[in-house]
Every structure is written in C-alpha cells, then in structure tokens.
Structure 1
Amino acid sequence: MIRTGDQYRDSIRDNREVYMNGERVKDVTRHPMFKPLVDIRARIYDMAHDSETADVMTVEQDGEVNAVGNALPYTQEDWWAKRRATDTVLETIGGVVTRVGDETVGEMWSLYDGQDLLNEVDPQFSKNIQSHIKKVLHEDPFHVSANTDPKGDRSLAPQDQDPDMLLHVVKETDAGIVVRGAKYETAAAYANQAFTKPTIANWGNAEMSDYAVGFICDLNSPGLKFICRGGFAGTRGDERDYPLTNRFDEVDTIVIFDNVLIPWENVLFYRHTKAATFIRATLHRYSAFAFVQRTLKQADQMIGTALFNARQTGLEKQQAVQEKLSQLAIWREGINAHLTAAIALGERSPAGLLMPNQSLLMTGRCHALDNLPAMMHIARELCGGQICVTPNVATFESPETKPWMDKYYTINDSWMAEDRRKLLAYARDLLNSDYAGHRLTFQLFAQSPPFAQYGAVYRNFDWDGPLSFVKAGANLSDTVVKGFKPRNSDCAVHQYYGEQLKDAAE
C-alpha cells in the first residue's frame, strides 16, 4: 500500500501527548508550527499517486507498487532511483527537508545486515527485523529514528547516576519489555514509528546491559510524551521576509518514555552490548547517502543565491568574485563526486544488499559537513552586506517608504526592487536567520558528532592499500605487512588497486 497525504494526516490524529511551548497540542496537523512539515510529508505521499511524479517516486517489486525510498537496494539502479526521487521531492517543494522517512529507513537495513550477530542472543530478533522491514515497505509508515539521549554526566556509567539519563529496560513481561528514559528525535511528534536504539555510550565491562536495547516504537503508544522545541514557523513575521523559516522548519522533540510497553515482536535486540556496538558502527552505511544528498541540494541553494546576487549587481565578471563562486562549485562537485562514485563502486553487504562504497560515502560526508560553515560564509560574502540591513516587506509596501525602497533597490530594467527584495530575504533566511543557524548545527550533529563521523572513515578506509604500496616501493620485509588483502574484494576499486599492488610487489 502506498499512502495518500490524507491517510498520513489521519494516522497522526490520535491521542499522543504533544507539548509546544508548554501547551498541549490538540492536532499536530493543524498547529502552525507543525503544519508546514506535515503538509510537505503529505505532499511526498501524494507525489506517489501524481501522474507526473509517480514513476519517479514508486517501484514495482513482486507485483506490488511501493515507495522507492523504502525499497531495499540490490543494484546500482536502485540507488540511482532513490537519488532521482529525493531530487524530485526537494525540487517540487522548493527547499531542503531531512527527516521525512527515506533518510532514516536505511538504518533498518544495517540491522538486516547484522542478523547473524543478533541470532547469537535470540533468533526471534532476526525474525522481527525482517518483519519490520517488510512492514515499512508494504504499509508505508512515516518512519523516523530515535537516537540521542540526555546522557547526563558522561564521565559516569549510566548505572552510577540517574538511570533514566539513558533509555533502559526496567521490566520484562509476557507481553514485552517496559522502558524508561528519553530520546531526542526530529519529526517524532508527527511521525508514525521510530527505530529506537542506543546512543554512543560507555558500556563499561558489561557484556549484558539493560541499556543495550533496540526496538520499533509505535509513536502513539501509551506513556509517550513529546516535548518540542519552539518552532520557527509562524513566529518570524511575514512569510515573505522568511520564506524558508516558515516553510521548512523540522520540529525537534524530546520523547519521554514513561514506562512504555514495547511488544516482543517490536524488539530488535536486547541485553546485548555486542549488538549495540555493531549497530553504532554500521548505523549509517545506507542512510548517510540521503543525508549527504541533502547537503548537496543545500550547496545548490547557496550557489544559486550567491550567483544571482553577483549577476544582479554586475560583479560576476570580477576575478575575485569568480574565485569565490568557484570555491562553492568545487565544494559542491566534491559532494557530487563522492555520491556518484559511492554508487558506481558499491559494495555487497553481508545480507546481499548493495551498500554505497563505504569509504567514499563516509569521506564524502566529512567533506560535505567540514566545509559547510566556511562555504556559508563565502556565500554571505558574495551576497554582500545588504542581506543583514535590508528592511522587511512592510517597508517596501508602505506608501510612505515604498518610493525610497523602489529607488534604492531597483538595479536595472531586469532587476526591479521587488525581485531584489525577494532574493535578499531568501539569502538572509538561508544564511543569517535563526533557522539558518539551527540548520548549520543540525547538519553538524544530525547523524553523529564529528568524532564519530571520522571514526566511520577510519573503519572503512582501505589502509592496507597504502601500506602495501609503500612496502613494495621501499622493499620492506614480509613481516612488516602480513596477509595483505583488499578490504572488500567484491569492490571494483579494491580489486583494481589489489592487482596493481600485486604487480608492483612482483
């Protein structure tokens, strides 16, 4: 079943306990701070039925039509289809949204790859994983991913402080496990379910731990409370002054688990620190692709905004301006190259799926995010100081001030004052607003903190290749590098370099 937008809206009109600015929200589909993103998610559902976009948004598998974002990837074409669908969504809605389902469902596929490990504890867990992957594919829920806990004092083990600082199991029953604690999750207040899993934690020496638990949480379960940060939409004045803030703010939530029952069929692993460590290490092997693709579209926003400003004011032909634009282009194309190569040199996963090339994907994520703050500053520079001093739309429309605004903001016959105002408002909202600052921080931490992102690079880069190259060139003894083998012999790039190194050694 592929949902419609109205079916999605109906599915979140339930008794969930949602609070915004300290007040209980009666209907998240109508509240002004939730409605813009609810409407965007509904639009994405409707795009699967729209004759103009259905072919891009859906895929037929085993005689059934499913959402392409939920479909397991087996081939390069599967990844190209996912990339086309994401581009189509962002271009249709006219902006960038991150937590809308396709970027989080990939985390389930990482569990699918780890079924053998989970079977060490209980074969039922492996069965549950397969069941929920099928459920996501066939029932098309809005699926998000709950990750970060409040954590408390990180120098202490969770057992040595308030135990609720990390989500944990407090009781087992015949019906399931009962959990307490809290998780931060963007979009949880208006989603259907969340893959809830351990954060990056200090497990100590415990082989078994009540904190090592992962499950699917139905977000209308009794005992859940959703305490949301104040949204930007509807609070930053006229939408024409803040066109991104008022349309694309994805509301973040701390989800309180107040003795919530998780049925056994929804438990994916439990009391297994090895499984928790595995999922933290492999969590983003698929979902990082969609996340990095969003940063690519954010780069397009910045380039388009900066280039329009340069052309408006006649500065595009200056060498210094061209150099700045080229820096943005180099960053953008670096992201594009990593995504493209990650597909072209994809790797077979333990469960038989096609993973994007892990080294290229994880280095691409670091390239995209490490350079984002500097690229935003270059875009600000290219837009000029007017993005922080231009009056709001009311000033451009008031009879007393409109003539002066028309005089000083009209550049030529092609760029009249109103278009100039629109572009500057867009640039300010993209680069300088509260929303812009929030997006920058969100991108920094959205999948994991920088040290964990670099850890993923360290785990996936083929260190043996450079070592063997130097061993052969320096004629080092065989004891220096023992048993050289490319990290993944199924990957074309490692096969190629492995053959080159073998030839060099001979």
Structure 2
Amino acid sequence: MEQVVATTRPLTGDEYLESLRDGRRVYFRGEWVKDVTTHPAFRNAARSVARLYDALHDSATRDVLVKTDRQGILTHKFFAPAYSPQDLKEAADAIALWQRMSFGWMGRTPEYKASFMATLGADPDYYAPFGDNARRWYRECASKVLFMNHVIVDPPIDRNRPPSEVRDVFMHVVKETDGGIIVSGAKQVATASALTHATFVGVNSGSAARLQEGRDEDVALVFFVRMDNPRQYLISRASYELRAESPFDNPLSSRFDENDAFLVLDNAFIPWEDVLVYRDVQKAKKFYADSGFFNRFNLQTTIRFAIKVEFMIGLLQKGLECNGTADFRGNQVLVGELIALRHLLWAVITAMVSDPEPSLGGSVVPRLEYAAAARVYTNFAWDRIREIFERILGGAPIINVSSYRDFQDPEVRPLLDRYLRGTGMSAEERSKLYKLIWDAVYSEFGGRHGLYELNYAGNHEQKYLDPLAWAQQRGLMGEWKALVDECLSQYDLEGWRDPHWVWEPTDAS
C-alpha cells in the first residue's frame, strides 16, 4: 500500500498539558478543580504523562515510539493497527519504552486505551451504521496520540437485578434527539480520567453477559464523551500525590498517582458523531471480544507488569543487601521465584507478539488464549510479591525516619548516621531505599496498587470463566476431551485393543 506523507504529529508535553485546560468538571475535596495541571493533587501525575509525549519527539526515543500508519498518520506504534508479528513486536517495544519511564507504576497511560482505539482504524465499518464515527475517532486519536480513559463497570448497586431495573444508577439513554442522545448514569473506575482527553463508555464482559434483547436496549450503548462535556462529573478519590511530603519520603506516590474517579453523566448530550453502538444488545455484547481490545490490552498490561516486577526484584535485592541477608539461602530461593515469574511474563509477551491471530480488517492481535492466561497470572501475582517482601524483609521497612527533615536536624543526624545505617550503606541511603520500599508495598498508594492489580481486568471469577468459555467456543475443549477419548479407546475389559501393547490376564485367586 502506498504510504501517504504525514501531515499531523503527536502532541508535545506542553501541548498535552495545555489541552487539559478545557473546563472539565473534576471534583476534589468539595471543589471544582479548574486546572488539574497546577492543582497539587494532580500536577505531578500530569507532568509524568507529559514526559511520555515529549519522548515521542526526542531524537533518542522517537524511532522506537512512532511510525507512519497506512493512512499516513504519524503516531505511537501501538496506536496503529498491527498487520504482522513484526508490527506487534515494534508496538511492544514502544509500550515498554514508555512504561520504563514510570517503572511500571502507571497502568493507564495513553497506550492502554490505544488497545481499543487502534482497532477502529482496522475496520471502522464493524460499527455500522456508525462506521464513519469510528473512522473519524481513529484519525483524531492516532494523529494526536490522544489520552483516552474508559469506564465499563457498573456501580456495585443492585447488581442482583436486571440492568433495565437499575436505570436510576446504570448508564442508559434517556432520550433521542436529532443531534444525538441524552444519557444518564454512573460508571467506575475512571482511572486517570482527570488527565485524559475523552471518556470511552462501554460494557465489560461480565455486564454484557447479562444483557437481553427486548429488555436492555436502553443500556446497550458504546460511545465517547469529550472531557469538556458540561454534564460529565468526575468525583475523585483521595490524592496520594497531595499527601506526599517530599520526593525523599514518597518517591512513587508523589508523581505516579493515577487518581481514580467515580464518573457520572447527568443528562449529558452525546452527539451522534460520538456514538459507536446504540440500542444494539448483540453488538454491545460482542464488541468487547470482537474488537480485539481484550487481546491488545493484555499485551500492554503484561508488558507494564513485567517491568514492574523487574523493578520489584531490584528493590527486594537491594533491601536484602542493605540488611546483610542477601546471601541467606531461603531469601535467595524467594528472589529466584520472582526472577522466574519475570521470565515467564516475558515469554508470554513473546508468544503474544510472535504467534498472533487474525482480527478486524486484516489486522492481527495477540492470540486470545495467551492474552487470557496473561490476564490471570498478572492479576494474581502481586499478592505473592507482597508476601515475599513481608516474609524476608521482616520489620525492616518499619524502621525509618518520619521525614527527610530528621536528617536536617543537627542533633539527631549523628544518631541516625550511627544507628540507622545499612550494610555498606549510609543512614541516608538506607532511609531513602526503605522509603521507596514502603511507598511501593505498604503505603496507601501501595495498597491501592494491590487492589488495582487484582481487579483492573475484571472480577476474580470472570478471569477464569472467560478462558473456559473461549476454550469451548473455539473447539479447544473438544480437542482436549478427544485426547482422553483416544486414551479410553485403546483398552477395554478384554485388554488392549492395539496389539502394540501386551497384556495377559492373571488369576485373581
């Protein structure tokens, strides 16, 4: 296909920050935050994202990060549809470069939702009669490398009732107009939404499974909401960035806090050009799997988590060396366990990019079976990582100064230098290291990450039910049962049916 010269380019970091000053309604501590780029609850996280945009233009990193797609759009490599294993490999390298800039601690960076947005460019007409909408959104998103958030989970209210009976809470269409639709309802968890350009609203696999034709059309919706929509409200949780005293005391939470929000649309007007699925139960149920989003987002999350595991391995090893316990055999065994986990994750990533499956419009996506396996083991691994930290570092993370200010006190500093030092490490270095360990594992920021890793990809049962359903739908379960049937067919009460084996009956008496 002939390449078209790109006429657009991704945003720079400064342009990204300026784009957030659009009147969005972010609420925090009882106030409307008019500018998230300057508010102390959001400003450093915004700047962490801005660094990613600057990397798209940096001569040292841009060749790994950007490409010109088949439509002539210069974009991040994961924002473009992939048509070969090599395309997926290059996209994976681009994801990894961005993720290493936050050490794997920011999960919902712009390339996360590119997992879905790129599929709009592969086959926009899948969304007919809204194919032109998909086509236009892909071009805008790819050309600017827009930062999208998504909300696909219903609030935990009355989930025992059909969606049609919870219209006062669940996202639903209120009425239809010539220019668009009026929508009301709530969704969660709008991670990093305060720092994004638009909200993607859809239905996750668990909710979609409950939809029924003739009953749930009002909630069978997939659409976009731009952040300047005056009837979109983001009600944020507490900010760990705001509570961070200093980089020394809170090195992760002071800059990588992806503030989560409860999102409400209160009779919000959504133009027709921002709609992908409207009152179509079957398409709302199928798009999650058909679009390739599931396959692609698990590539992004597995790479992100693998890098985070690498960071945690290094952090654990340095903590053990500081304690003088790195050579203890039992400790080495558990560090080796995490190293094996790291290798396994990268092996799955290699399989996802090198052995893809066909998807919309001639594109390819990571094989569903590999994506489903990665989803399970990345989600449940964090509990084991934390358990290992707690087991072999013991109470060491508790023993630390209350603040960096303690080192600035001339009376206390000599005591710290003598009694708080580490093995081959000064007291200040030891304190700095264990502040990082505390922020990663034991702080409120670290606790939130534990919940995130366990739940971001769905509830704990759905993660196992989906691989089972897909194995049945794709005929894999039939193949595995056929293996057992083959074994059963090789013998009976009379002995072996195949003369290759020998059996002579014995006298039981």
The TM-score normalised by the length of structure 2 is: 0.87
Gaps of 5+ in 2: 1-8, 492-509
Aligned twin of 2:411: 400
Q: 1:470 aligns with which of 484, 496, 499?
A: 484
CA distance in 2, matches of 1:61, 1:236: 41
Report what 2:151 is aligned to: 146
1:353 maps to 363
CA distance in 1, matches of 2:453, 2:361: 30
Go from structure 1 to structure 2 and tell me whether the alpha carbon gap of 1:241 and 1:27 turns closer, same or farther (over 3 Å shift). same
Residue pairs, 1:351-500, within 5 angstroms? 351-392=361-402, 393-412=404-423, 414-461=424-471, 462-475=476-489
The alpha-carbon deviation at position 134 of structure 1 amounts to 2.4
Q: Distance in 2 between matches of 1:2 and 1:116?
A: 25
After TM superposition, give the deviation of residue 174 of structure 1 in Å.
0.7
Shift of 1:443: 1.5
Residue 208 of structure 1, CA deviation = 5.4
Determine the structure 1 residue equivalent to 2:182.
178
- The SS at the match of 2:78 is helix
Q: Is the 8 A contact 1:60 1:66 kept in 2?
A: yes
1:256 is aligned to 264
Distance 1:114 1:279, change over 3 A: farther
Assess, with a 3 A threshold, how the Cα gap between structure 1 residues 133 and 247 changes in structure 2: closer, same or farther: same
Distance in 1, Cα, partners of 2:92 & 2:104: 16
Cα 1:249/1:280, change in 2 over 3 Å:
same
Give the drift of 1:441. 0.3
Give the drift of 1:25. Answer: 0.9
> In 2, distance between residues paired with 1:160 and 1:104?
30
Residue 65 (1) aligns with residue 74 (2): yes
Whole-angstrom distance in 2 between the partners of 1:114 and 1:271 = 21
Q: Which letter does structure 1 place at the counterpart of 2:415?
A: W
1:151 Cα deviation from its structure 2 partner: 4.6
Query: What secondary structure is seen at the aligned counterpart in 1 of 2:321?
Result: helix
- Give the number of the structure whose alpha-carbon radius of gyration is greater: 2
For residues 297-349 of structure 1, what are the alpha-carbon distances to aligned partners after superposition, in whole Å with 9 as ceiling and x for unaligned?
22112111111122223322221111111111122222222111121211111
Match of 1:87 among 75, 96, 121: 96
Matched residue type, 1:380: E
Partner of 1:268: 276
Instruction: Please give the alpha-carbon distance, in whole angstroms, between the structure 2 residues aligned to 1:71 and 1:129.
Output: 14
8 Å Cα contact 1:67/1:137 also seen in 2: yes
Equivalent position amino acid for 2:186 in 1:
A
Structure 1 pair 151–114 and aligned structure 2 pair: CA distance change class (3 A): farther
Corresponding residue for residue 101 of structure 1? 110
Q: Distance in 2 between matches of 1:133 and 1:443?
A: 28
Judged with a 3 Å threshold, the aligned counterparts in structure 2 of structure 1 residues 208 and 225 are, in CA distance, closer, same or farther, namely closer
Give the CA deviation at 1:95: 5.1
Q: Identity rate of aligned residues, in percent?
A: 27
Distance in 1 between residues matched to 2:313 and 2:145, nearest whole Å: 35
Is the 1:95–1:244 contact (alpha carbons within 8 Å) kept by the matching residues of 2?
no
CA contact 2:198–2:226 (8 Å) conserved in 1 = yes
RMSD (Å) for aligned C-alpha atoms: 2.2
Which 5+ residue runs of structure 1 have no aligned equivalent?
478-506
Question: Equivalent residues in 2 for 1:6-25 (5 A)?
Answer: 6-25=14-33
Q: Separation in 2 of the partners of 1:247 and 1:132?
A: 30
* Structure 2 CA distance for partners of 1:86 and 1:281, relative to 1, 3 Å: closer
- The answer to whether the 8 Å contact 1:296/1:335 transfers is yes
* Cα distance in 2 between the residues matched to 1:320 and 1:248: 33
- The offset of 1:191, in angstroms, is 0.8
Does the C-alpha gap of structure 1 residues 274 and 246 become closer, same or farther in structure 2, counting only changes over 3 Å? Answer: same
- Mapped contact 1:2–1:48 kept (Cα < 8 A): yes
Q: Tell me the CA shift for residue 11 of structure 1.
A: 1.3
Q: Which secondary structure does the structure 2 equivalent of 1:59 belong to?
A: strand
Contact 2:112–2:300 (8 Å) recurs in 1 = yes
In the alignment, the residues of structure 2 paired with residue 89 and residue 430 of structure 1 have an alpha-carbon distance, to the nearest angstrom, of 19
Q: Show the counterpart of 1:188.
A: 193
Q: CA deviation at 1:46?
A: 0.8
Deviation at 1:204, TM superposition (A): 4.3
1:277–1:228 CA distance, 2 compared to 1 (3 A)? same
The alpha carbon displacement at 1:233 in A equals 0.4
Q: Which residue is equivalent to 1:76?
A: 85
Preserved CA contact (<8 Å) 2:212 2:281: no
The superposition leaves residues 443-492 of structure 1 with CA deviations (integer Å, 9 ceiling, x where unpaired) of 21212222222233223443233222222232289xxxxxxxxxxxxxxx
Which has the larger displacement, 248-257 or 85-94?
A: 85-94
Q: Relative to structure 1, is the Cα distance of residues 271 and 381 closer, same or farther in structure 2, using a 3 angstrom cutoff? A: same
Superposition pairs for residues 222-261 of structure 1, below 5 Å?
Answer: 222-261=230-269
SS of residue paired to 2:375: helix
Deviation of the 1:78 alpha carbon: 1.8
The answer on whether the counterparts of 1:303 and 1:328 sit within 8 Å (CA) in structure 2 is yes
2:437 & 2:156 partners in 1: Cα distance?
36
